[in-house]
């Protein structure tokens, strides 16, 4: 549908999208980028062959605008873009907590807006990108968004009312796993292993478990039970996790992340 795509505020995730789109077959000449620093723009041009432009130029030239700025910078960016964005531009927002209604209210009436929450595994083409339509976005707009983000991983369509929950679960999700790997590595050191060996053991266990979850079709309870022998080591460890309230702590942590996403949305509407 769209021929030129512009990534505005091209940080790590934005660059991952650019790289993924190029690998998926999009010509670098059809990709525009905007950055705050000239040296960053020159680096992107040198590495990917894309064209650095200003934000107004991106709005005027591209068919699709992907906004990858931080949530607190979204209002300023939209004020800059508003005079230059025709109603036929597709605007894709990757800012956590910012509802499509906030973006629509700052742009020309009828502008299609799609909200996406992706995550940092986009850097290794293993992202989970959750996509929601604004009030003017069509099925064609959603399909195009899936094509763009499908270049760096999997995509999932959800109603926008579920975006705060998916932000807590998936957008922030990799950080929880890094936290667990860090804690388990420290435990390995406490048990007498060198840090590098403890790290390798935990990382491979995490990769193997994730692949089994993805490919086996089994419920995680079933997979856990397959490892948990009566009166064995695993059940003793799980008992301690339950005694220390790890399950409840995880639920509370995700609720806190969801609530923060809602706070960001509330702030954008003020």
Structure confidence by residue, pLDDT tens digits, 223-235: 999 999 999 999 9
pTM of the model: 0.90
Q: In sequence order, which ranges of the chain are alpha helices (DSSP H)?
A: 12-23, 38-48, 55-61, 74-81, 100-106, 139-150, 163-166, 173-190, 195-216, 220-227, 233-243, 246-269
Instruction: Report the pLDDT value the prediction gives residue 25, as an integer from 0 to 100.
Output: 93
Angle between helices 233-243 and 246-269 (to 10 degrees): 50
**Rounded distance, CA 28 to CA 198, Å?**
42
Q: What is the Cα–Cα distance from 81 to 114, expressed in whole angstroms?
A: 16
The Cα–Cα gap between 115 and 139 comes to 14
Per-residue pLDDT tens digits for 33-60: 999 999 999 999 999 999 999 999 999 9
Nearest-CA neighbor of 63 among 40, 88, 92?
A: 88
d(CA 255, CA 238): 23
Quote the DSSP letter at residue 123: G
The arithmetic mean of pLDDT across residues 224-249, rounded, is 97
Q: How confident is the model at residue 2 (pLDDT cuts 50, 70, 90)?
A: very low
Q: Read off the pLDDT of each residue in 137-161 and give the average, rounded to a whole number.
A: 97
* Exposure string for 231-261, b = 16+ CB within 10 A, e = fewer: eeeeeeeeeeeeeeeeeeeeeeebeebbebb
């Amino acid at each position: 549908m769209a021929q030129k795509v512009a990534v505005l505020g091209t940080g790590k995730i934005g660059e991952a999208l650019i790289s993924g789109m190029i690998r998926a077959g999009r010509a670098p000449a059809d990709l525009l980028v905007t950055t705050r620093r000239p040296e960053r723009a020159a680096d992107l041009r040198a590495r990917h062959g894309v064209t650095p432009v200003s934000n107004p130029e991106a709005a005027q030239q591209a068919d699709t605008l992907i906004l990858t700025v931080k949530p607190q910078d979204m209002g300023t960016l939209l004020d800059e873009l508003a005079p230059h964005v025709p109603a036929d531009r597709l605007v894709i927002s990757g800012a956590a907590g910012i509802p499509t209604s906030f973006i629509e209210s700052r742009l020309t009436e009828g502008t299609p807006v799609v909200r996406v929450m992706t995550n940092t595994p986009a850097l290794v083409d293993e992202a989970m990108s959750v996509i929601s339509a604004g009030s003017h976005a069509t099925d064609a707009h959603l399909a195009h968004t899936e094509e763009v983000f499908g270049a760096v991983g999997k995509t999932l369509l959800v109603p926008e009312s579920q975006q705060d929950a998916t932000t807590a679960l998936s957008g922030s999700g990799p950080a929880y796993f890094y936290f667990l790997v860090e804690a388990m590595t420290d435990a390995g050191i406490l048990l007498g292993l060198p840090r590098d060996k403890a790290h390798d053991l935990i990382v491979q266990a995490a990769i193997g478990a994730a692949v089994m979850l993805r490919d086996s079709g089994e419920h995680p309870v079933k997979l856990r039970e397959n490892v948990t022998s009566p009166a064995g080591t695993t059940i003793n460890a799980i008992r301690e996790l339950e005694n220390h309230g790890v399950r409840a702590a995880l639920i509370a942590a995700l609720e806190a992340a969801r609530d923060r996403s809602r706070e960001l949305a509330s702030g954008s509407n003020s």
